[in-house]
Amino acid sequence: MAVASSPCPYRARHIYDEIVIWSRPRAAKVRGIVAPWIMRILVVEDEPRILAFVTRRLEAEGFLVDAAADGAAALATAARHRPDLVVLDLLLPRIDGLTVLKRLSQDHPTLPVVIVSARADLPAKLRGFELGAWDYLGKPFLLDELVARIRTHLRVAVENGALLEAGAMTLDLARHRVQLDSAVIDLSEREFQLLHHLVRHAGEVVGRDRLLAEVWGYNFDPGTNLVDVCIRRLRKKLGPQVPIETIRHAGYRLAS
Ligand code: CA
C-alpha cells in the first residue's frame, strides 16, 4: 500500500498491523520485518555463481546487500557497514568462515549470522552454533528457505533492540518515537531514520553519501542539500542536549 501523494520516490509501506517498512519502490516484495531503516545484509561467499544469485534475490526482496568473497573482506565490510545480518560460507580463502564467525560474535555480539555451508554434518553445525551462529543451512539450499530464515532472524533482532538509548534520549524503534528526558519529540519519518542512523554510529563520522544511500536510499548525489536541511531540523528539535557535530568536508557525527 503505497502513499500515493508522497512527493518522494521512497515511500512508507504499511504491511500488516503496526509493521512499517521504509523501502525503495522496487522493494515491493519485502514484508514482515519491523524496521525503520533499509536492512543491510552482508553475503560472504567465494563461489561467484552462488554469490550472484543470493545477492540478486536479496536485492529483489528489498535488502541492501554487501558482498565479500573472502574472510578478510567479510570482516572489513562488517566493521565498515555494520550489517543487520550476515550470510556466511565456511570454506573461504584468506580467513576461514569459523574464524570470521568468532570475530563477528566478539565484535558484534547481537549480529545475527546465518551459516550456509557444504559442511553440514552435526559436529560442524554444533561448532557453528557454539561460536555464535544463529542458524545453519547445508548446501545445496533453497533460496526461499534462506530468505524465510533471514526474515525471521531479522524480526527477532529488531524486536530485541526495540529501544535504543543514547544519553538522555530513547528511540522507540517499533513506534518510531523519540523521547528526550521525559518529553516526546515529534519527528518526521525521515528525521527519525536519520537520527537512528546517527545513534547507531554514535562517535563515528558519517558522510553525506552514506546518509543519502542508507537513509534516503539514493545511490547517487541528487545535487541538493537534503541531508543538511534534515540535520538542521533535527538540531532545532533536539536542542544542544543531542550534539550533532558538522565535520568539515567529511559529514556529521553524533558525539558519544
Ligand atoms: Ca566456499
Domains and CATH numbers, the chain: 11-160 (3.40.50.2300), 163-254 (1.10.10.10)
CA R_g for the chain: 19
Q: Give the Å distance between the CA of 91 and the centre of ligand 1.
A: 4
What is residue 224's three-state secondary structure? coil
Q: Say what the pLDDT of residue 179 is.
A: 86
Distance 28 CA to ligand 1 centre (A): 31
Give the pLDDT score at 129.
95
| Ligand 1 centroid – CA 24 distance (Å) | 31
Torsion (CA) 29, 216, 201, 133 in degrees, nearest 10: 10
* Cα 201 to ligand 1 centre (Å): 31
Residues 6+ apart with CB under 8 A from 27: 13, 21, 38, 61, 62
Q: How far is the CA of 49 from the centre of ligand 1 (A)?
A: 11
CA of 31 to the centre of ligand 1 (A): 30
Q: How many helices (H) and strands (E) does the chain have?
A: 8, 13
**What is the 63 CA–ligand 1 centroid distance (Å)?**
23
- The answer to whether 76 and 98 are in contact (CB under 8 A) is no
User: Given this model, what pLDDT does residue 37 score?
Assistant: 56
Task: Measure 145 CA to ligand 1 centroid, in angstroms.
Answer: 19
pTM of the predicted protein model: 0.60
- Give the 3-state secondary structure of residue 199: helix
Q: How many other CB atoms are found less than 10 A from the CB of residue 244?
A: 16
pLDDT band at residue 107 under the 50/70/90 scheme: confident
Q: Report how far ligand 1's centroid is from the alpha carbon of 38 (Å).
A: 28
What are the respective helix, strand and coil percentages of the chain, to the nearest 5? Answer: 40, 20, 40
| Residue 87 backbone dihedrals phi, psi, to 5 degrees | -100, 120
CA 143 to centroid of ligand 1, rounded, Å? 17
pLDDT of residue 109 exceeding 80, the answer is: no
- Whether 25 shows a pLDDT value over 90: the answer reads no
Enclosing H/E stretch for 64: strand 64-68
pLDDT band, very low/low/confident/very high, at 29 (cuts 50, 70, 90) = very low
The Å distance, Cα 88 to ligand 1 centre, comes to 9
Residue 220 — pLDDT band, cuts 50, 70, 90?
confident
Of the candidates 210, 220, 255, 250, the residue with the CA atom closest to the CA atom of residue 80 = 210
Residue where the block lists cell 519502490: 25
Ligand 1 center from residue 59 Cα (angstroms): 21
Please give the distance, rounded to the nearest whole angstrom, from the Cα atom of residue 45 to the centre of ligand 1.
6
